[in-house]
Amino acid sequence: MLLLDEPLGALDLKLREHMKVELKQLQHEIGTTFVYITHDQSEALVMSDQVAVMNAGRFEQVGAPQDLYYNPQTAFVAGFVGESNRWKGTVGTTQDDQIMINLPTGGSVVASCTVHPELSEGQTVDVFVRPEAIAIDGQGKTDNAIGAKVENVLFNGAASSVQVRDSATGHEMTVALPQTGAFANLKVGDTVNLTWAAEQTRCFAAPEKLGTAA
């Protein structure tokens, strides 16, 4: 077993990206277990076959990178691994296999009963939606639909995004820009329509503190 404690922390970006590949290839060639410690969530996902997310000295969730990202088991993991839009809310009524989550500042979001069979009316929850789950101007499912105003455009090639503010409630959100380039000309002040599927809304009881990933 080989312990690697923040091995790439002092390297510049391009060299760090190159060394990620080198280390993964080396591990596969020699077959030794690597215990890789990092505070960089992206690095943990790229480098690992199994990831352990720690909070206050205990494991929150252990699993494959895909499981942690797409199926987080706690609010801490959902907020810590990758980017997420986050709100607090209260579970409202259920209709047609969908749950209404009421937000204290006004408005609501819709979650899926199939994804969240454990939720009960009146329960206080943390609500998460990934930036890439949100479609701009009607290109996705419309279980959730809001109008918003662009406040910032963050160009980063394939990882570009926009920061928007919900026109009705004032909530700030981050939305990933599609790869097609159709929205490359979005600018501050533009109005957009945002939609996402109920299945993409994740809810967890009780707020949790930040911690570290290993």
What lies within 8 Å, CB to CB, of 41 at 6+ separation is 80, 81, 82, 213
CATH number at residue 18: 3.40.50.300
Q: Do residues 214 and 172 make contact, with C-beta atoms less than 8 angstroms apart?
A: no
What lies within 8 Å, CB to CB, of 67 at 6+ separation is 61
Q: What is the pLDDT of residue 65?
A: 93
Residue 130 lies in a domain: no
pTM of the model: 0.83
Amino acid at 39: H
Residue 26 lies in a domain: yes
The pLDDT averaged over each successive group of 10 residues in the chain (214 residues) is 90 90 91 89 87 91 94 91 92 89 87 88 93 84 91 89 90 87 84 93 71 46
Number of domains in the chain: 1
Residue 12 lies in a domain: yes
Residue 6: give the domain boundaries: 2-83+209-213
